[in-house]
Chains A and B, each alone.
Chain A
Amino acid sequence: MNPPSVLQTPGFAHYSLAWSPFYNTRLALASSANFGLVGNGRLHIVSLVPGPGGLPTLKLDKFFESQDGLYDLAWSEVHENHVLTASGDGSIRLWDVMLDNLAIAAWQEHTKEVFSVDWSNIQKDTFVSSSWDGTVKVWKPDRPRSILTLQAHQSCVYQALFSPHQPDLISTCSTDGTLKIFDLRSPAYATGPGTNSFTNPLSAAVLTIPASASEVLTLDWNKYRPMVLASGSVDRMVKVWDCRMVKLGDSQVGGVCESSLPGHEYAVRKLQWSPHHADLLATASYDMTCRIWNTTPMGPQPPLRYIHDAHTEFVVGCAWSLYEEGLLATCSWDSRLNVFRP
């Protein structure tokens, strides 16, 4: 196993990373100073270049400074040089990597930190953001205001992702321990015990999955099997959920847990299904490791395939390369980006 390619950005802890969908060697990193507690943020643009000995090395192309820490980023699906960042001051900014210094657009609507942004793969002109104020907002880059606001949860929404199979489904996870799937075609207000339509309306989720008794920090849609989701939570479990029972237009609680993957020693902070294999899952955790799992239930081999232990702080981001099969990048609070082949 070759050692990973490493890039270090001193002083800035990484929060998230993403591979560009247009350039097979370009990555972006969302980082914050002082581990995100106080201080600025940086958006780093990184390239993978062939280096000595045939091993790829990482080169920092440029970075953009931001007022507040950056928590997440998403590359645009329509424009090869645009990238979005989610910021601690509640704003979402759009950057052009060809320019310098300032963002080309900013949206400030969330009242708390924006913790995730995701660009839709199918409807290439829409992106979604989720925030600690409990709302999920849908935007178009050419509109100055959000198109839709979902009152997704009563507490922080850690992640909101578009489904890669159906254009109008968004899945969210939150501190209340649930995963919710929302259908944008018919947002309605939920009524029931614990909700008050006038003063505190909650959007009706098409499906609510009680994923965990603790906070669910991350989720991802399987790229090959529609309606299969994975969730990672504070109770150190990674669970794979089958949600095919969802009836669009109805509001129910469901989700069948296909498999549970124990192994991490602390909370699971990020996970991503492989874009090349239907059952390969990468997870990053506060136990300072990144692990690769094979999620075929009842497989002959144990699910845990690989433990990547090179980081010295919490591993908070992991992403598979979209073009090169089996290439994984992880980023961590030790300010290092690792790219390796597990």
Chain B
Amino acid sequence: MSLPMLVGGTECGPSNPLQGLSKHLDNDRGLQQDHFGAGRAGPSQETFRSQITSPPSFDQDTARFFAKSPPPQFYGNSPYDMAALRGSLPAADAQSFKQNVVADWAVDFLTQQPMQASSPQPLAAAATQSTVSSMHSSAASSTTQAVNMIRPAQVMPFGSTWNATMQFIPSANSFQAMTVPRSVLPDTQLSWYKEFDAQQSDSVPTEGLSNANAQEEAPQSFREQDELSRTAGLLLETVKTEKNPKFQNSIFMNLMTQLRDQKVVVRGNEMVENDGTHTVGQDSRVDVKGKGKASDSPFIPYAGLVSTLGQTIGNNATMAGVSPYNEQIDIQEDANDAYFRQENEDYTRYWNGMDPRKSQRQTVEVDLNWDKLQTDWEKFEASTKGITPVVSYQFQKNNPYLRGDSLRMRHHSMHSDDRLETVLALEAAVQQDMSNASAWFELGVKQQEHERETQALQALKRATELDPSYLPGWLALAVSYTNDGRRLEAYEAIRDILVPKKPRFKKNSSNWFTLAVLFNSNEEYGKAQDCFRAALSIRPDDWQLYNRVGATMANSGRAEEALEYYYRALDLNPAYVRARYNLGISCIQLKRYNEGALHILDALSLQDAEGVHDVEGFNDARGGITSNALWDSLKTACLHLQRVDLATLCDKRDVEAFRFNYQFR
């Protein structure tokens, strides 16, 4: 097993193979492990729930990280795996550590570069989300930054300290106002991750940057050695009580002893005797400081095993890694110094690189910042869970309906049944009367149809705020929450509907539908289907209902049947983007990739037609705002079709270009 394996890949397989062995040698620790794993993931999930909008390319890692079954969760992602960091964002865990670094150095840098302060999280978020949702997440992240800033100061979150931390927030938001070209992001992410990699929250806060640098190639060997020796130590612990003389005389056990005592170290592809060039901190064997803080588990002997399994690898490495630097070993120290220099250069280059784009606007920004402060303050509301941002709906600019092209409007209303057909028209209607709950509701529903979930959510929230008694609004809100995976809020929304209705349960379609949504979010797909069918029989022309039934079918694995429902929905409303998108997804699931790609392309074209054509080219996405989910699914389909060229084209988010290339294969 070669050294790269020791360094990288720490999911279930041991990052060093000894771990696998020590796992096996132990007594049954299943329950203990569950306990530990659950305790660990809890707080981070709680805090960061609102901001898990990680880019799709990172989804696999994040999804695995949050995998429900405890043992694999336990051996979960290593956010500090350098190889995996290239292009993957380990969601909550990394963030929890990143924040603390931000808290420290951010004070210094924030005044100079307000834009970059709220770094990797909004960077990563902005990369693939629409501006609104990224605002949401970055604001959330900056609030958590703010919260963490407070903690060291040991002040309760509310009160005067808020003023001190307010400067973080406009920086986050002003950053979002800029559209960062996507190509910049991967590089900047990488250098950021290098810095934020594995910072122990309570350890060496002042060394912030230099410690962050201390993760790379030269110091890595220390980390590995330490993990190896620690794991060896643990292994020996478990067989300590073994009376069998075979174990005493075992060569393997001797090797473990030597590894633990650092008499033998791994060098390159072999094990060599340690002739004094590798000296690690004396207390590496009983490095309780790092482990103790990192783990809340009462099972201290196993803590090291846990930590080496990846979740806190970086922390302990830092802890152990710090001491060698202080020890002034000749060869390795030079490598470290050289590395620090390199890192600092990269770092300064990165900051300077960001500057030219913004230097002109900086002076203006500073003045505007104070204005923003006030408005941004209003964007947050304090709650018991922490600070949650209040997001407001972002209307599309240059809305022709607002500009008073009333001619256009009149024509449309003559041809249609007096319902406003397009998103733009609905937005105009809302902007003309911001307190009209039903206008917000219509807008929200339209956005849902067009797969713009976040906008739909905001609009529907406004609608329900303005008129809590408007039940369809709650229903639509619940649907949006479900689609977003936020079951708790979906339940709450539905509860608000059902509770008043309990005494007189009428058998109408929306009640059946409500029940169905409830079952759906509870994953009782069979019952959900029955309710859907009942609802359909009452309202056979409701295309949204057909789409929802189809989605239920697809989610319970019956993609073939789902297709029929989608087609029916599209018969009734050919412009129904969501149904087309779902159709594409189901085709992909059925391995009909060509069909799926075509459907998604159609959906994208429909969305494109809905947007404002921006003459100045202000928006990066030409034309309308196309939903990133659609693009990512299209990319998947292209990859299945073995068309990598098309897949990379998807990143450009250009419908015309894609269609052109797709047709002329």
Find chain B residues with CB under 8 A from A312 CB: 246, 249-251
Segment from A74-82, A95-103, A192-200, A291-299 that makes contact with B: A192-200
8 residue pairs A–B, Cβ–Cβ below 8 Å: A35-B252, A38-B3, A39-B271, A154-B64, A188-B557, A199-B56, A200-B59, A214-B28
Task: Using A154-B72, A177-B71 as known contacts, say yes or no to A88 and B249 having CB atoms under 8 A apart.
Answer: no
Report which of B16, B25, B67, B69 forms a contact with A286, defined as CB distance below 8 A: B25
Closest B residue to A200 by beta carbon equals B63
Report whether B271 and A34 are in contact in the complex, using a CB–CB cutoff of 8 Å: yes
Asked if A242 is at the interface of the complex by the 8 Å CB criterion, the answer is: no
Tell me the bound Cα distance from A89 to B17 in angstroms: 12
- Encoded as 1 (CB less than 8 Å from any A CB) or 0, chain B from 269 to 302 comes to 1110000000000000000000000000000000
Given A88-B2, A191-B557, A312-B246, 17 more contacts at CB 8 Å? A37-B16, A38-B2, A38-B269, A39-B1, A40-B269, A68-B1, A89-B5, A112-B11, A113-B13, A132-B11, A133-B13, A176-B69, A191-B555, A198-B59, A234-B28, A286-B24, A313-B250
A→B interface (CB under 8 Å) = 32-40, 67-69, 88-89, 111-113, 132-134, 153-156, 175-177, 188-189, 191-194, 196-200, 204, 212-215, 217, 234-235, 266-267, 269, 286-288, 312-314, 333-334
Residue from A38, A67, A133, A217 in contact with B270 in the complex, judged by beta carbons closer than 8 Å: A38
A266-B25 contact given A37-B1, A176-B69, A313-B251, CB 8 Å threshold:
yes
Number of B residues, CB within 8 Å of A: 51
B255 contacts partner chain A, Cβ-Cβ < 8 Å: yes
Contact B24 A113 (CB under 8 A): no
* Contact residues in B for A153 (Cβ distance below 8 Å): 72
Contact, CB under 8 Å: A193 / B68: yes
Q: B residues engaging A (CB < 8 A)?
A: 1-3, 5-6, 9, 11-13, 16-18, 20, 23-31, 56, 59-60, 62-64, 67-69, 71-72, 75, 244, 246-247, 249-252, 255, 266, 269-271, 523, 555-557, 589
Closest beta carbon of chain B to A329's beta carbon, Å: 20
Q: How far is the CA of A234 from the CA of B28 in the complex (A)?
A: 7
Q: Within 8 Å CB of B24, what residues of A?
A: 215, 217, 234, 266-267, 269, 286
User: Do A200 and B60 form a contact, CB below 8 Å, given A175-B71, A286-B25, A312-B250?
Assistant: yes
CB–CB B246/A214 < 8 A = no
Q: Which residues of A contact B64 (CB under 8 A)?
A: 154, 200
| A112→B13 contact, CB < 8 A | yes
A309 nearest in chain B by CB position:
B246
A40: B residues at CB distance < 8 A = 269
Name the CB-closest residue of B to A178. B69
Residue of chain B at shortest CB distance from A335: B251
> Which listed residue (B18, B26, B56) contacts A37, Cβ 8 A?
B18
Task: Tell me the bound Cα distance from A287 to B3 in angstroms.
Answer: 28
| Bound-complex Cα distance A314 to B25 (A) | 10
Find chain A residues with CB under 8 A from B26 CB: 234
Shortest CB-to-CB span from B452 to chain A, Å, is 18
Cross-interface CB contact of A155 among B11, B60, B251, cutoff 8 Å: B11
Are B72's CB and A176's CB within 8 A?
A: yes
> For the complex, what is the distance from the CA of A36 to the CA of B21, rounded to whole Å?
11
Report Cα–Cα, A198/B269, bound state, in Å.
39
Q: Which residues of B contact A88 (CB under 8 A)?
A: 1-2, 5
Pair B271/A213 contact, Cβ less than 8 Å: no
